[in-house]
Amino acid sequence: MRNIFAVPIRDQILIYAPLHNLAALVSPTLALRLRDLLASGEPAGDGPLGELVDLLRDEVTEPAPLQGEFVPSALGLLPTRGCNLACRYCGFIASEETQFVMSLEMARDAVNWYMDQVQRSGAPHAEIHFFGGEPFCVEAVIDLAVHLAQRRAAEIGCTLRFEVATNGTFSEARCYWTADNLDTVVLSFDGPADVQNLHRPYKDGSGSFDAIARNARILSEGANSVYFRACITEATVGRMPEIATWFCQEFRPDAVSFEPLQPTPWSDNAGLVPPDPWAFAHNFIAAAQILEAHGVRPVYAPAEIGARQVTFCPVGKDFVIVAPDGVLTACYLLRGEWEARGLDLRLGRMNTDQNGAVQIDPEAVESIRGFNVHNKLFCAGCFARWHCAGGCHVNHILGSQPGDYDRLCIQARIIALYNILHAMHHDELAHTWLQDHAALARSVWQASDRLADRDGTL
């Protein structure tokens, strides 16, 4: 019964069993009867309750951490940690790690190693992601990696997909190349000119809006998938519906991901403050409705109810990220950031003095596979555990007591519940629930959502 959850939604109970692919709204009395029947194993008889009990008695398999032989699921290349922008919330500008630039030889060796692994494992598909800093600050690494991987994929006979996370300020010619050659472009784009230029100026202080808006238009016309990733602060949270409308009117993204500001010393200095989580959730939902009406997918990653995962991100998924200094890592944050939290997310290294030999450390692989929600006891009773999986392993510090939810948990829980009700076509109920702060608070502040933990007060 550990994967059957019960969350109050006004005067009803949402029974949510993501691993059974089941959600149902029932009365509190029925929820308690359901709990007792599941606990006792008694026959439930015919009728709707009996059917529900039968479905919930089905054995389900929990998502498991990776085990066994290490086969890279994808390759990430970080051509540089440097950037041409000086975003007000970004810690990369001040890091010493920005001095390294990946050599072409290292990019070649990394791609060859990865494609050898794809060939050896017989995988039908290869996937290469570019992150930064700003990856297009070292265009030659991207060009080399793309051409080499395309040649190798043709030899091996596998499909190949490229993704880039970029600030989108490249030249027009590079933008057309990107539209033609990369499958998914994730553009960090915070909104209209006043927001974008305030948050994401060039190093000389001038605004980056004109370049990104031109390129977002070009990419919108291309065949690739374009995702906008917008950082939301306390000052812009109320503008999320307006930003969503503007994105849809001006461009044609496939998805828009809104991400609350992750506070840093630099954002503090710039006077940028994370949004209130309740306001973020409300405005995300309002923005999501606008996006969906335009055929654009709204994304708040921890609340993606289609996901069944043990880890939120590349960490723990055998995804290999090559840093410009040849260190292989599981996370694309600066090494200094995870080290400051006492974490070691290195998977191995590339030895440029030994013909680019790649060394994966098996102990590191095991340790990093341990970064998963099975080891996050705080999340054990949360209905969103297989979607959110505890969030970022570096930046999301989990509470010490069950139910000690922070900003991420509050907004993830509200948005995930809304997503479930929306998927059930209970939009009317979702709307009244969102307007009823006391009911919303009751849904959020449950120390455990497990049906088995519900007492007579349900």
Provide the pairing of β-strand 74-77 with 12-17.
unpaired
In the shown chain, the binding pattern of residues 389 to 428 toward other proteins, with x for contact by CB under 8 A and - for none, equals ----------------------------------------
Residues engaged in binding ligand SF4 (CB under 6 A): 302, 312-315, 331-333, 378-379, 382, 384-385, 388, 390-395, 405, 409, 412-413
- Paired tokens of 388: 């959110």
Per CB under 8 A, does 431 bind other proteins? Answer: no
Shortest CA distance to 318 belongs to which of 131, 120, 66? Answer: 66
Instruction: Give the CB-side neighbour count of residue 406, counting CA atoms within 13 A.
Output: 15
User: Which of other proteins, ligand SF4, none does residue 333 bind to, with CB < 5 to 8 Å depending on kind?
Assistant: ligand SF4
- Paired tokens of 303: 């609340």
Which residues fall within 8 angstroms of residue 94, CB to CB, at 6 or more apart?
Answer: 266
φ, ψ (nearest 5 deg) of residue 394:
-95, -50
In the shown chain, the binding pattern of residues 132 to 151 toward other proteins, with x for contact by CB under 8 A and - for none, equals -------xx--xx--xx-xx
CB-neighbour burial class of residue 96 (10 A; exposed 0-12, middle 13-18, buried 19+): exposed
Q: How far is the CB of 192 from ligand SF4 (least distance, A)?
A: 27
Q: How far is the CB of 134 from other proteins (least distance, A)?
A: 17
Are the beta carbons of 83 and 76 closer than 8 angstroms?
Answer: no
Amino acid identity of residue 440, one-letter, is L
Q: How far is the CB of 323 from ligand SF4 (least distance, A)?
A: 13
Q: How far is the CB of 322 from other proteins (least distance, A)?
A: 16
In the shown chain, the binding pattern of residues 89 to 118 toward other proteins, with x for contact by CB under 8 A and - for none, equals ---------------xx--x----------
Per CB under 8 A, does 174 bind other proteins? Answer: yes
Per CB under 8 A, does 60 bind other proteins? Answer: no
Q: How far is the CB of 375 from ligand SF4 (least distance, A)?
A: 12
The Cα-based distances of 251 to 174, 189, 245, 271, 339 in angstroms read 19, 12, 10, 30, 39
Q: Which residues bind other proteins (CB under 8 A)?
A: 104-105, 108, 139-140, 143-144, 147-148, 150-151, 154, 173-174, 177, 180-181
